[in-house]
Amino acid sequence: MKPSLAKGTRDFTSLEVSRRRYIINILQKNFELFGFQPLETPSFENLSTLTGKYGEEGDRLIFKILNSGDYTSKVNQEDWENKNHQKLTSQISDKALRYDLTVPFARFVAMNHGQLTFPFKRYQIQPVWRADRPQKGRFREFYQCDADVVGSESLFQEVDLVQLYLKSFSDLKVPVTIHLNNRKILSGLAEYAGITDKLIDFTVALDKLDKIGKEGVVKELLEREISQESIDKLDFLFNQSEDALENLLQLKEKFVGNEIGLKGVEELEFVLTQSLNLGVNMENLVFNITLARGLDYYTGAIFEVKADEVQMGSIGGGGRYDNLTEVFGVKNIPGIGISFGLDRIYLVMEELGLFPEEATSKVEYLFANFGGEETVEALKLIMELRAKGISAELYPENAKLGKQFTYAEKKGIQNLVFLGEEEIKNRTVTFKNLEVGEQKTVSLEEFLK
């Protein structure tokens, strides 16, 4: 059988793993710096936990897991003959791989809210799975790095998450712009256009603006039975100025008497103003009135982060979800969270050449194998180096030196060490720096300093 990978998945080389770990370490450090605590949840959840939380399109992308054993035995014959896929799915599958980390987190909070101290801040770095069409920067298995706060309605949480985004990407040296909007503004727009009953259809179509353009969005709105008259009232959305506060002022005028729309404007204005008061450059923040993020559970602020110098989809996103735990029977636990897209961040940093030398895991010393007593002495010295936290290894066979040199060069090992009979006798160590080609002999004490 010819070996192959499942579509939308990848193997990671040691270089890639080291670089991914470099990103994760920076994110984890900042999560904890901002007061978030670690949490992990299972790779799969009950299917009922996940469905109905991500919208129509999201639900289609959930990877279902077939029930164990003879899963066809409970299939209703009539559903099978009529190809009733929705009913058939529930009969052959009751579990699914997690689609994101937010819904499992909400499930965790609902199950454990009596033991948690609120506001509860957690971060989570784990893989998720989506049955999406693979393309550049979009995979079927990928990591999310989330930070969420539940149990607080304070808008200062939004302001703090803006700070977390900016600090983390600054530490990674990735220039970014944070796009902001508010779902209450989108609800206000739907009310303004007389399509309140079509809010989900409206936001799902609007969220595709970057991908399909204005004409594509208009076409999809018409296909979703939104009238041309309503679309004409919303035409100003596609002609926004670069001044966020000016755009908010325009909305205030249109939202006179529109309570939910004005509330959204007020909340967004607060986040922008307080961020500016904390020294955030306005160039790093964009009020994107067409930003919708196609997840049904958002109720307030929504974020999307884009790299400035690389054509790539969002490399981070999130928002406020005040009602998510209600579906699990627990009310009045508001929440807000953001996510960092590890895989896309990696692609951006790779394209811009931003990975530093220390992001690559390398062995510092390879000891040549001369066999006999020399090998035993080399192993003793290797143990001393490792005790000091210095990476070292012994070439396993007593092979020709040329072969040992080649091995060191291919692995990118910095130094090849020669501990032969003469060195052991004189308590010295000879080593060659393979990067600069310099070889020298030093005392054993100096070598171990």
Most confidently modeled range among 27-36, 63-72, 199-208, 409-418: 27-36
347 with 419, same domain: the answer is no
Which domain CATH number covers 428? Answer: 3.40.50.800
Same domain as 371, residue 348: no
Mean pLDDT, rounded, for 141-160: 96
Cα 399 from chain centroid (whole Å): 45
Q: Give the pLDDT score at 406.
A: 95
Region of 276 (left: φ > 0; alpha: ψ -120 to 50; beta: rest) is alpha
Alpha carbons 122 and 106: distance in angstroms, whole number: 11
What's the rounded mean pLDDT across residues 103-114? 95
Q: Are both 299 and 431 inside the same structural domain?
A: no
State residue 391's pLDDT score: 95
Amino acid at 90: S
What is the model's pLDDT at position 389? Answer: 94
Is the predicted pLDDT of residue 93 greater than 70, yes or no? yes
pLDDT for residue 86: 60
Each residue of 359-413: pLDDT tens digit? 888 899 999 999 989 999 999 999 999 999 999 999 999 999 999 999 999 998 9
Answer yes or no: is 9 within a domain: no
| Same-domain check for residues 296 and 381 | no
* 43-53: pLDDT as tens digits: 999 999 998 88
Inside any domain, residue 432: yes
Is the preceding peptide bond at 42 cis, omega within 30 degrees of 0? no
Is 70 exceeded by the pLDDT of residue 90?
no
Are 332 and 379 part of one and the same domain? no
Q: How many domains does the chain have?
A: 2
Is residue 89 scored above 80 in pLDDT?
no
> What pLDDT does 204 receive?
83
pLDDT value, residue 293:
78
Q: Is residue 76 part of a domain?
A: no
Instruction: Tell me which of 325, 352, 379 is where a domain ends.
Output: 352
Q: Is residue 54 part of a domain?
A: no
Mean pLDDT in the chain?
90
In a domain, 267, yes or no: yes
Per-residue pLDDT band at 69 (split at 50, 70, 90): low
What was the pLDDT predicted at 12?
A: 94
Most confident of the following: 51-55, 78-82, 131-135, 398-402: 398-402
Considering the domain architecture, whether residues 339 and 367 belong to the same structural domain is answered as no
pLDDT over threshold 90, residue 79: no
What pLDDT score does 358 carry?
84
Mark whether 315 and 423 lie in a shared domain.
no
Question: Does position 73 have pLDDT exceeding 70, yes or no?
Answer: no
Asked whether residue 53 is assigned to any structural domain, the reply reads: no
Predicted confidence (pLDDT) at residue 155 exceeds the cutoff of 90: yes
Q: Do 306 and 399 belong together in one domain?
A: no
Domain boundary among 306, 329, 352: 352
Give me the residues paired with residue 216 across strands.
none
The pLDDT value given to residue 303: 95
Q: Is the pLDDT of residue 419 over 70?
A: yes
- Domain assignment of residue 301, yes or no: yes
**Predicted confidence band of residue 159 (pLDDT cuts 50, 70, 90):** very high
pLDDT tens-digit readout, 302-352: 999 999 999 888 999 999 988 778 889 999 999 999 999 999 999 999 999
214 token code pair: 């204005």
244 and 376 co-located in one domain: no
Would you say residue 84 has pLDDT above 60? Answer: no
- What pTM, to 2 d.p., does this model score? 0.86
Range of the domain at 442: 362-447
> How does pLDDT run across 246-301, given as a tens digit for each residue?
888 889 999 999 999 999 999 999 999 999 999 999 889 999 988 887 656 789 99
In a domain, 276, yes or no: yes
**pLDDT at residue 83, as a whole number:** 55
Mean pLDDT over 130-158 rounds to 91
Per-residue pLDDT tens digits for 24-40: 999 999 999 999 999 99
Residue 168 has what pLDDT?
98
Residue from 306, 307, 285, 295 nearest 337 by CA: 295
Is 374 found in the same domain as 324? no
| More confident: 204 or 413 | 413
pLDDT average, residue stretch 161-184: 97
Residue ending a domain, among 326, 352, 378, is: 352
The domain spanning residue 335 has which CATH number? 3.30.930.10
Tell whether 331 and 436 lie within a shared domain: no
- Rounded to whole angstroms, the Cα distance separating 362 from 160 reads 37
In the structure, what pLDDT confidence band is assigned to residue 185 with cuts at 50, 70 and 90?
A: very high
One domain for residues 334 and 395: no
Tell me the percentage of the chain whose pLDDT exceeds 90: 69
